[in-house]
Amino acid sequence: MGLRRDDGLAMIKKPKRSIWGEHTAPGRFLFLSMIALFLVFLGLPLFALVLRAVPFNAGGWLSDRTFDALQLSLVTASISAILAIIVGTPVAYFLAREDFRGKAIVDALIDVPMVLPPAVAGLALLMTFGRRGLLGPSLSAIGIELPFTTAAVIIAETFVAAPFYVRAAKAGFASVNRGLEQMSALLGVSNLQTFFRVTLPLAASALFGGALMTWARALGEFGATIMFAGNFQGRTQTMPLAIYIGLESNLDSALALSVILIGVSFGILALVRLISPKGVTLG
């Protein structure tokens, strides 16, 4: 019985070679040293912060400022993530499926909040919704005041965090096999039913990962919030703002909130890796 072509290729296939080659021990040591140095650079400050906060101090961990900031942050970040999902899902689907004139401009506009300095984002929101802003007088005329309110916190967080969901969702929808959607259409299934029964389940991991990243980004928002919503305990003072104030008035509270945010960050990354081993793609 003769060998098949695939068997012959397998027999002559060369084994994988290390990127270091056969005689590059110094190069390998250099690269590993740089990796170790980089990991120490990233990990040492986090370790120092946790080490400093480990001695339990009720004045910091159980203070009213800590609980108020934690509660407000969880509520506003969750609302922001929900708004991003509701609005961002159809936007991401349309961008993933349709080609139109000006699409590059739309993509760039969605990306802007991701790279814009948060303070600039907050000032832009203030110039739009503030009392003397573009829409402020019209909103005031009907009794709506947004700046320095809890609603302003949600708007600021949504502005800077929603693009993360749109990008992840767009990549997820783009990865769905169009043939499966076409097959569903041939079977007489409506476009809406196809979206919910075929497209959405196949892109679910990307959407869920994007939602988690959006929630985490909203939870850690600082610059846009303090510019547009201010820093009032129980109303607009989220965890990052409470940490900033705590540096001057209550260091234990700032340390406690910082440890909580570190734990949340690691938890979010672990969940994202669990549902998508390759991570969330921002396409």
Distance between CA atoms of residues 282 and 116, nearest Å: 17
Distance between CA atoms of residues 194 and 179, nearest Å: 12
10 Å Cβ neighbour count for 183?
13
Lookup result for tokens 């600021």: 156
Alpha helix stretches (DSSP H) within 98-220:
103-115, 118-129, 136-141, 150-174, 178-186, 191-194, 200-219
Residues 175-179: contacts with CB under 8 Å, at least 24 apart: 175/202, 175/203, 175/206, 176/202, 176/203, 177/202
Distance between CA atoms of residues 106 and 96, nearest Å: 12
Distance between CA atoms of residues 216 and 1, nearest Å: 60
- pLDDT greater than 50 at residue 26: yes
Distance between CA atoms of residues 39 and 49, nearest Å: 16
Residue type (1 letter), 156: A
Distance between CA atoms of residues 40 and 256, nearest Å: 23
- pLDDT greater than 70 at residue 280: no
Averaged over 188-213, what is the pLDDT?
89
Question: What confidence tier does 116 reach under pLDDT thresholds 50, 70, 90?
Answer: very high
CB 69 within 8 A of CB 238: yes
Higher pLDDT, 10 or 163: 163
pTM, full prediction = 0.83
Structure-token pair, residue 172: 């997820």
Lookup result for tokens 């990796």: 35
Residue type (1 letter), 174: A
Structure-token pair, residue 273: 């890796």
pLDDT in tens, 246-257: 888 878 888 888
Q: Which residues, at least 6 apart from 81, have a Cβ–Cβ distance to it below 8 Å?
A: 161, 165, 211, 214, 215, 218
Question: What confidence tier does 9 reach under pLDDT thresholds 50, 70, 90?
Answer: very low
pLDDT in tens, 159-186: 999 999 999 999 999 999 888 888 888 8
